[in-house]
Amino acid sequence: MSKATYTDLYEITMALCYRHEGMNAPATFSLFVRDLPEGRGFLVAAGVESVLDLLSDYRIGDEEVDAFADALHRPRRDVEPLRDLAFTGEVRAVPEGRVVLAGEPLLEVTAPLIQAQLVETCLLNQVSHQTAIASKAARCVLAAAGHPAVDFSLRRTHGPQAGHQAARLGAVAGFAGTSNVAAAVLEGIPAVGTMAHSFVEAFPTEEEAFRAFARCHPGPLTLLVDTYDTERGVRIAARVLRDLDRAAGSAVRLDSGDLEALARRARSLLDEAGLSEVRVVASGGLDEYAVDELVRGGAPVDVFAVGTKVGVSADAPYLDSAYKLVEYDGRPVMKLSQRKVTAPGAKQVFRRPGFADVIGLAAEPPPPDGVPLLETVMRDGRRTAPRPSLADLHARFTADLADLPGGARRIRSPVPPRAVTSHGLDDLTDRVRTRTEEAAAVAAAPADTAAARPAGGGSDRPGVTRGAERRWS
């Protein structure tokens, strides 16, 4: 079965109802993050390339029809109308690697209603997960303050695909390498790795383990020195590297204990042995908070290997993301649920200096100094441009990060910029809200009093989301 079956059941039930009712006019859905997770000053847009791959290959064939019918416990003929459906719509998206704020559309899909509805689950899955991981990796790069960071997350990510994505997104953010062999080969990322404690334990002594490793691997060595006593391990590693004249490019790795104190002692011992060129690598439960503490404390760590907490974005493992209908058959629509109000119409995000972003309507002219963020990346179900390289994505990220206000870049207690909404979007929101509330009031009233009900809208003036302020002028 194709990825078309990786969906929530209600996507199928809605699609079948739309089909039964003859509703398949063009619809626009907007995907956005309502609020940033606590402790985040920004997000890094990611997952768009996976979305384009998915939509390019989206097909409902016989196997998918059988799967849908089985899940619904209905005869195959009831689901048959969905057979041969493919995605033929348009996608406008913030290019992967760009820094974004709460409330800003990350992508918008315009397609026949049934198509646009059926792809919701997969789009949310890819964009939400990858944006969370890319944002976590970006914070590690900030915390490392110019020191290389590498990805060691595969063994504890939520499956091989998630591990591959973590390695790729780490490279987008600027990681220097990954331990993930498949990702390294397929994405062109430098592969990095050392040895496990089990390797050292398999030999009678640490020195025999280190010398065996050196005999097998002719290049620079990274020796894991904390299997037993870390200080003794550093001394043994220094002796082996000096005896074999293998110091150039080599390193010792610290994986446990008080990493700041141990790094200082390791650096001192290596320098005393005349091995100032041997680097110190730190690992073991690191994330941006631990890396920040080590850097601020002046720990002599040359490379930070981050794993579990980054690969699963442990402190913020999900995003408050949504995929909402904003226009159907030329009619702007909105949701009025308490605390989940959305704004109608296809939108654009205009980036202004200092991240003074404006969320406006797609058809609006940009404000002064404003540059549109959303680009048309798919038309008629086909990509509009080749897949960008990791170098291109990293360049986008680096440029945006350089412009991000200092408060948003802070590792602890960041202050995120907040987008504002344009007059055009505010006015459309007010009109659609009034129309929607009046229609609901008429529908709810007894038949003999509905015609006499006075017109009028509510006084509450919601923004696009809680992440965006009203208004820009």
Query: Minimum mean pLDDT among 13-27, 383-397, 457-471: which range?
Result: 457-471
Residue 291, pLDDT > 50, answer yes
Residue 472, pLDDT > 90, answer no
**pLDDT of amino acid 337:** 85
**pLDDT of amino acid 224:** 98
Give the model confidence (pLDDT) of 58-114 as tens digits.
Answer: 999 999 999 999 999 999 999 999 999 999 999 999 999 999 999 999 999 999 999
Phi and psi (nearest 5°) for 88? -125, 15
Residue 306, pLDDT > 50, answer yes
**pLDDT of amino acid 2:** 80
Half-sphere exposure of residue 68: CA atoms within 13 angstroms, side-chain side: 29
**pLDDT of amino acid 444:** 85
Percentage of the chain lying above the pLDDT 70 cut? 94
Q: Describe the chain by its helix, strand, coil percentages, rounded to 5.
A: 40, 15, 40
What is the pTM for the complete model shown? 0.93
CB 35 within 8 A of CB 102: yes
Q: Give, for 168, the enclosing helix (H) or strand (E).
A: helix 160-173
Q: Copy the structure tokens of residue 187.
A: 């994405």
Average pLDDT over residues 239-245: 97
- The CA distance from 16 to 81, in Å, is 8
Largest CA distance in the chain: 99
Give the model confidence (pLDDT) of 122-150 as tens digits.
Answer: 999 999 999 999 999 999 999 999 999 99
The answer to whether the bond into 471 is cis (omega within 30° of 0) is: yes
CB 107 within 8 A of CB 48: yes
Residue 461, pLDDT > 50, answer no
**pLDDT of amino acid 395:** 97
Residue 356, pLDDT > 50, answer yes
**pLDDT of amino acid 456:** 44
Give CA separation, 388 vs 71, 116, 122, 127, 383, in Å.
38, 25, 21, 17, 12
Q: Copy the structure tokens of residue 322.
A: 């949504």
Place 3 in a pLDDT band, splitting at 50, 70 and 90.
Answer: confident
The domain defined by 3-133+317-425 folds into nicotinate phosphoribosyltransferase (3.20.140)
- Look over the chain and give the mean of its residue pLDDT values, rounded to a whole number: 94
Give the model confidence (pLDDT) of 255-272 as tens digits.
Answer: 999 999 999 999 999 999
Length of the chain: 473
Q: Give, for 379, the enclosing helix (H) or strand (E).
A: strand 375-379
SS3 280: strand
Place 467 in a pLDDT band, splitting at 50, 70 and 90.
Answer: low
**pLDDT of amino acid 447:** 67
Long-range Cβ contacts of 225-228 (<8 Å, 24+ apart): 225/252, 225/253, 225/254, 225/266, 226/197, 226/253, 226/254, 226/255, 226/256, 226/257, 226/262, 227/197, 227/200, 227/201, 228/200
**Of 349 and 446, the one with more pLDDT:** 349
CATH number of 143-311: 3.20.20.70
CB 226 within 8 A of CB 257: yes
Average pLDDT over residues 420-436: 96
Residue ranges matching CATH 3.20.140.10 in the chain: 3-133+317-425
**pLDDT of amino acid 446:** 80
